[in-house]
Chains A and B, each alone.
Chain A
Amino acid sequence: MREITLSQAVNEALAEEMRRDPTTFIIGEDVAEAGTPFKILSGLVEEFGTSRVVDTPIAEPGFMGLAVGAAMTGTRPIVDLMFGDFIFLIMDQLCNQAAKTHYMSGGKMSAPLVLRTNLGATRRSAAQHSQSLHALVAHIPGLKVALPSSAYEAKGLLKTAIRDDNPVVIFEDKLMYQDKAPVPEEEFLIPFGEANIKRDGTDVTLIGTSSMVQVCEKAADLLAAEGISAEVIDPRTIVPLDEATLLASARKTSRVIVVDEGHQSFGVTAEIASRINEKAFYHLDAPALRMGAMDVPVPFSPALEDITVPTPEGVADTARKLMSGEMIDAA
């Protein structure tokens, strides 16, 4: 199968869906001729024109609010938020307006929009361009949240998101835009709420999101060399969450580590670990553990930044301790 970058996968998904549905349009800062700072959208304005690939002023709340109204009246906006950190700027329009439109109207109105943005530290971009803030929106009922872990997921999940009648937020890992993965030439979609078991294992389950899937896979390689069999699961969407697949794996291996790049406290790892502890308690040999980013603003210095996020070595080390029983008191 051919391999393409995550950036190309996103571009293909957008082009295919925009050809398919004339009510779709892209809106955001520097999305047209510039194709965004990451050059993800290159070529789209040439095909679809400036009426459907819409450059905006630097006004995140404004274009997000505009997208909500456009979605409510018959179009499917695809909003490009240049950095995930800017989500704080659009919270009212996303969480008070878009997320609640369907519910507050008793099911009569909806806001079918996609918000594409990113997450991920270790790009030396410091505290306001490095955050992984998906837990914030996953907390709000009415928003779906997808976290692609490779070019394949990036394409399949985005196409599904664009066709979804609900507001969907997709966080792409900005360090993965140039990473290649096999992606079929023919059309495909990835349904929401279906986890992907990346690797079968029997001793410990590593649940990873976004780029943490790769971290878990590398940790599984390290553990395999020591005779520890790790299962690696990518939930792919955290809202909806494929709880059944995660619980089945927890019951099988009896040990679980949840790895996510958001801050550890009050985050995605806590939610997933808690559900496993509540619903698979009698099958566990130790409490399900959380491994998130350190609860500090992301520092600039590489010497500091690199230690704030989970690493394969760190995940493997935690898994070893989990296997030896050392982590039972740590929870």
Chain B
Amino acid sequence: MSPAKQTNSEDYLRMYRQMVRIRTFEDNANQLYLSAKMPGLTHMYSGEEAVAVGICEALTVTDKITSTHRGHGHCVAKGADFKEMFCELLGKEEGYCRGKGGSMHIADQSNGNLGANAIVGGSMGIATGAAFTAKLLGTEDVTVCFFGDGATAQGLMYEVMNMAALWRLPVIYACENNGYSEYTRTDEIAAGSILARAEAFGIEAHQVDGQDVLAVNDLAQKLVARARTGDGPFFIELMTYRYHGHHVGDINRDYYRSRAEEKDWKENRDPIIRFRSWLVAEGIASDDALEAVNAEIRAEAADAVDYALNAKYPDVSEVDMHVFTDVRHALA
């Protein structure tokens, strides 16, 4: 990791805090699933924290992101609150989407998060359209489209990258390459080079270590600034790793990846451990101070989980609300 810049202590600590918040959120979400307190299932972002945080720390509140089925990390990184997030995961009225979206559709438009998406690659058009709005209305907002390596197999990506490049749209395509396309190794589903696919459209493409939050943030800062002044679009391939299976129930995964591989990533390349060591080594924070941050976040998460577990479900009369904007009850 690169040396610290003197003036950035607060930024560094916020990045640390946000990464720990994501990990803590996911640990709690996983426990809710394992203890059968959460309806449905979910996809864990653990291990990929430096990607969402490194990028979202380069964005303003009005900049937009689109997210994926593995979307809790993006949601937290863009500024969401634990309480509304856990309420949404549990299908409660106070959730970000009043319990109608759940884990795979969580959205937080107040912070520019246009939503997770349960169709792999399904939000690439939406992200490109958000960038189109910025250009048409002159808002100067930048949009980041998060997607996984698996989504690079979807045709939509090439259609919208073509248009984004033709029209110089302020969008950054952020490919989180965690090595696995659901239950299949990425090298079995992706021919050639992922970066070259973007470059074929004349889009400037970069590969970065997605476990190094400073490297991710440094690149994101530069590309976001350039996109804002009309120099986009850009493509980033972030090399990362998901600690859990494709979803929380994907426990027995020896058939597609080894325990030794998982252990290596967790012990030797963990983005939070690496960044924490760096913060201490650079004298930005003491180990004790960082441990206190962790404890504070654990307590915040525990409170939010308790709150969500006790929060009420939406009234059944809400089932036909929000089908149309101008009809209170669609089936009335």
Contact surface of A with B, Cβ cutoff 8 Å: 23, 25, 51-52, 56-57, 59, 61-75, 77, 92-93, 96-97, 101-110, 112, 141-142, 144, 164-166, 240
Q: How far is the CA of A141 from the CA of B137 in the complex (A)?
A: 30
Q: How far is the CA of A56 from the CA of B109 in the complex (A)?
A: 28
Say yes or no: A141 contacts B330, CB within 8 Å.
yes
Interface centre among B166, B321, B324, B327 (most CB of A within 10 A): B324
Distance (whole angstroms) from the CB of B210 to the closest CB of chain A: 25
Say yes or no: A102 contacts B324, CB within 8 Å.
yes
When distances are taken between beta carbons in the complex, the residues of chain B under 8 Å from A166 are: 324-326
CB of B128 within 8 A of chain A? yes
Distance (whole angstroms) from the CB of B160 to the closest CB of chain A: 5
- Tell me how many residue pairs across A and B have CB atoms closer than 8 Å: 156
Say yes or no: A93 contacts B125, CB within 8 Å.
yes
Knowing A107-B322, A165-B325, the reply to whether A72 touches B130 (Cβ < 8 A) is yes
When distances are taken between beta carbons in the complex, the residues of chain B under 8 Å from A65 are: 124-126, 128-129, 156, 159-160
- List 13 A-B residue pairs with CB atoms under 8 Å apart, sorted by A's residue number: A23-B137, A59-B159, A68-B129, A72-B130, A73-B130, A74-B133, A97-B125, A102-B323, A105-B101, A106-B95, A107-B322, A109-B114, A142-B324
Q: Which of B109, B130, B136 contacts A108 (CB 8 A)?
A: B109
Q: Which of A56, A69, A92, A105 contacts B107 (CB 8 A)?
A: A105
Which residue of A has the minimal Cβ distance to B318? A106
Knowing A65-B160, A73-B133, the reply to whether A105 touches B109 (Cβ < 8 A) is yes
Please provide the chain B residues from 295 to 332 with a CB less than 8 Å away from any CB of chain A in the complex.
Answer: 321-327, 330
Distance (whole angstroms) from the CB of A74 to the closest CB of chain B: 5
Interface centre among A62, A64, A66, A70 (most CB of B within 10 A): A66
Please provide the chain B residues from 102 to 124 with a CB less than 8 Å away from any CB of chain A in the complex.
Answer: 105, 107, 109, 114-115, 117, 119, 122-124
CB of B66 within 8 A of chain A? yes
Q: How far is the CA of A65 from the CA of B101 in the complex (A)?
A: 20
Q: Which of A52, A73, A109, A110 contacts B129 (CB 8 A)?
A: A73
Say yes or no: B119 contacts A106, CB within 8 Å.
no
Distance (whole angstroms) from the CB of A71 to the closest CB of chain B: 7
Say yes or no: A73 contacts B114, CB within 8 Å.
yes
Say yes or no: B156 contacts A62, CB within 8 Å.
yes
CB of B274 within 8 A of chain A? no
Distance (whole angstroms) from the CB of B286 to the closest CB of chain A: 41
Say yes or no: A68 contacts B125, CB within 8 Å.
yes
Which residue of A has the minimal Cβ distance to B97? A106
When distances are taken between beta carbons in the complex, the residues of chain B under 8 Å from A164 are: 326
CB of B132 within 8 A of chain A? yes
When distances are taken between beta carbons in the complex, the residues of chain B under 8 Å from A68 are: 125-126, 129
Say yes or no: A57 contacts B130, CB within 8 Å.
no
CB of B266 within 8 A of chain A? no
Say yes or no: B126 contacts A69, CB within 8 Å.
yes
Please provide the chain B residues from 267 to 287 with a CB less than 8 Å away from any CB of chain A in the complex.
Answer: none
Say yes or no: B122 contacts A96, CB within 8 Å.
yes
Q: Which of A51, A106, A141 contacts B96 (CB 8 A)?
A: A106
Which residue of B has the minimal Cβ distance to A93? B125
Say yes or no: A61 contacts B107, CB within 8 Å.
no
Say yes or no: B322 contacts A25, CB within 8 Å.
no
Interface centre among A72, A141, A166 (most CB of B within 10 A): A72
Which residue of A has the minimal Cβ distance to B99? A106
Q: Which of A56, A62, A141 contacts B323 (CB 8 A)?
A: A141
Interface centre among B64, B134, B159, B327 (most CB of A within 10 A): B159
When distances are taken between beta carbons in the complex, the residues of chain A under 8 Å from B66 are: 69
CB of B127 within 8 A of chain A? yes
